[in-house]
Chain A
Amino acid sequence: MTPKQLFFSLLVRPSLMLLSGIRVKGREHLALTGPAIIVANHNSHLDTMALLSLFELNRIDRVRPVAAGDYFLATPLKKFISEKLIGILPVDRKKIRKTGSKHPLHHLSEALERGEILIIFPEGSRGAPGEIKPFKRGFAHLAKAHPNVPVIPVKIRGTDRALPKDEALWVPFIIDIRVENPYYFEGDVRDFTKKIEELFHDDR
């Protein structure tokens, strides 16, 4: 077993089950073998944990949350947790410009080519409880470069009550996760971003 599999099977899943409980709708959309881009709203550190725990242990190593390198790799402890236990793909929020010939999201493209499943929070960082901040377009650029990779919108509710931003106390509330039908890139980046973003403003 990898450290990530141990971490999720022994710690994350049992605590999520005991302290929150996850209700999932549309789980069948996650039953895929190839690469995918999961796009989710973000209000809590529990979002990543809950999304990862939806995957069976034998696939979990292939599910990679895309996260801010400047924050999650800042200290040795954070670096260990982020890299070994969660398996993030870091992006540098400050230097998101083209350097030389390589695209800044180059390593994300490579991950998709390896068949990995990316988790992207297009709001960029955690919002206040209940808030959905404007989406950034990174995921759409990635989808444009990989038009055959499905973009799967996932709405998460309840993590903002259980463990909101700037709070350390985890209070038991059920987490509701709704996995939507997959989308494939079409049109231009701006429209595609808007189309996905609007889904998150429906019925919530």
Chain B
Amino acid sequence: MNSITLLLILVASLLALSSLITYVMQKRSSKDLTELRSRVRSWWVMAAIFFSMILAGKAAALILLATISYLALKEYFTMIPIRQVDRRIIFWSYLAIVPQFWWAYIEWYEMFIIWIPVYVFLLLPFRQVLTGRTDGFVESTGKVQWGLMLFVFSISHLAFLYTLPERNGATGVEMLLFLVVLTELNDIFQYLFGKRFGKRRIVPTVSPNKSVEGFAGAVAVTPIAAAALGFLTPFTLFETLFAGLIIAVAGFIGDVVVSMIKRDVGIKDSGTLIPGHGGILDRIDSLTYTAPLFFHYVYYLYY
């Protein structure tokens, strides 16, 4: 059987199992599980959109990823306080998304890897000069560049991963699916271990729901899940386990880093786009860290 078909069957079975479990839980318990059940339903919808677009070819896949970047950046800019004149550089920063994904599409790695950290980084302060507003310059340039780095530059590594040529029988698409499925699984492992065994808070001021036990459980189990999905990668067993470890640790850090923004501006969820999950930021937070780190791990080992 083809490895992507196998993955689709695995994901569909996991989703079906979660639907079944939450359904039975609701039958047996008097507690209101609407939130949990709508979260599971949203997983179905997200998986359907994600897999159909990613598997519909390069253009469709990259359009999906660019759209995710755009929605995330929009949520971020809506959330943070800005000056009125910042509308100008924010507009320019949105425009930077299209070339970033275009470089990935035409597989121009050198440009892809410096476009936002070098060219956009140098251009945005110049646009600030043209507005003439000096007060708050450093702060606002920092905010905008950081948002671009996290939600466009980082996320666009998924796009470049997609385009990577085949190694040891594994294609870029398969590696992309490996990374995304494992990152989301790691989030779920953290949540489940936290629910079951959570006692000690790991970062109490940032994420009161995150526990040491949840983190440790995911760090233990995610590499095993990675090994089980190893058929999607060119890795040796040791390399696969290490990839799982990178994803577990980086996924956690991405999650809490994005939570820092919400704590800073004093809101709980970044949005209501995905029922039961909050906004796009709440769903891709871990990917902002796992995507570039996993990409460079693969790139170093095989390209």
A28 within 8 A of B: no
Asked if B74 and A173 make an inter-chain contact with CB atoms under 8 angstroms apart, the answer reads yes
Q: Is A111 located at the chain interface by the 8 A CB criterion?
A: no
Interchain CA distance A158-B75 in the complex, whole Å: 11
Residue on B with the closest CB to A130? B84
Q: A161-B82, A172-B94, A173-B74 are in contact. Are A167 and B271 (CB under 8 A)?
A: no
The residues of A that contact B84 with a CB separation of less than 8 Å are 129, 164
Known: A129-B84, A161-B87, A167-B87. A173 touches B77 (CB 8 A): yes
Q: Which residues in B have their C-beta under 8 angstroms from that of A173?
A: 74, 77-78
Q: Scan residues 169-204 of chain A and give those whose CB is less than 8 A from a CB of chain B.
A: 169, 171-174, 176
By a CB distance below 8 angstroms, the chain B residues around A171 are: 87, 90-91, 94
Q: Given A161-B82, A174-B78, decide whether A23 and B87 contact each other with a Cβ distance below 8 A.
A: no
Interface size, chain A (Cβ < 8 Å): 13
Chain B nearest CB from A36 CB (Å) reads 24
Is A21 engaged at the interface, CB distance under 8 Å to the other chain? yes
Q: Is B273 an interface residue (CB 8 A)?
A: yes
Q: List the A residue with the shortest CB-CB distance to B92.
A: A171
Given contacts A21-B273, A23-B272, A129-B84, whether A169 and B78 have CB atoms under 8 Å apart is no
User: Could you tell me if A23 and B271 are in contact, using CB atoms closer than 8 angstroms?
Assistant: yes
Q: Is the CB of A174 within 8 A of B75?
A: yes
In the bound complex, residues from chain B placing their C-beta under 8 Å from that of A172 are: 70, 74, 77, 94
Interface 1/0 per residue, A21-56 and B, CB below 8 Å:
101000000000000000000000000000000000
Residues of A within 8 A of B90 (CB): 171
B residues in contact with A176, CB < 8 Å: 78
Q: In the complex the two chains form, is B74's CB within 8 Å of A21's CB?
A: yes
The distance in angstroms between the C-alpha atoms of A173 and B273, with both chains bound, is 14
Mark contacts of B59-82 with chain A using CB atoms, 8 A cut-off: 1 yes-contact digit, 0 otherwise: 000000000001100110110001
- List the A side residues contacting B273 at CB < 8 Å: 21, 23
**Taking the nearest CB of chain A, how far is it from the CB of B236, in angstroms?**
44
Binding site for A on B (CB under 8 A): 70-71, 74-75, 77-78, 82, 84, 87, 90-91, 94, 271-273
Could you list some 17 contacts between A and B, CB below 8 A? A23-B271, A158-B78, A161-B78, A161-B82, A161-B87, A164-B84, A167-B87, A169-B91, A171-B87, A171-B90, A171-B91, A172-B77, A173-B74, A173-B77, A173-B78, A174-B74, A174-B75
- Given A161-B87, A167-B87, 13 other A-B residues pairs in contact with their CB atoms under 8 A: A21-B71, A21-B74, A129-B84, A158-B78, A161-B78, A161-B82, A164-B87, A169-B91, A171-B91, A171-B94, A172-B94, A174-B78, A176-B78
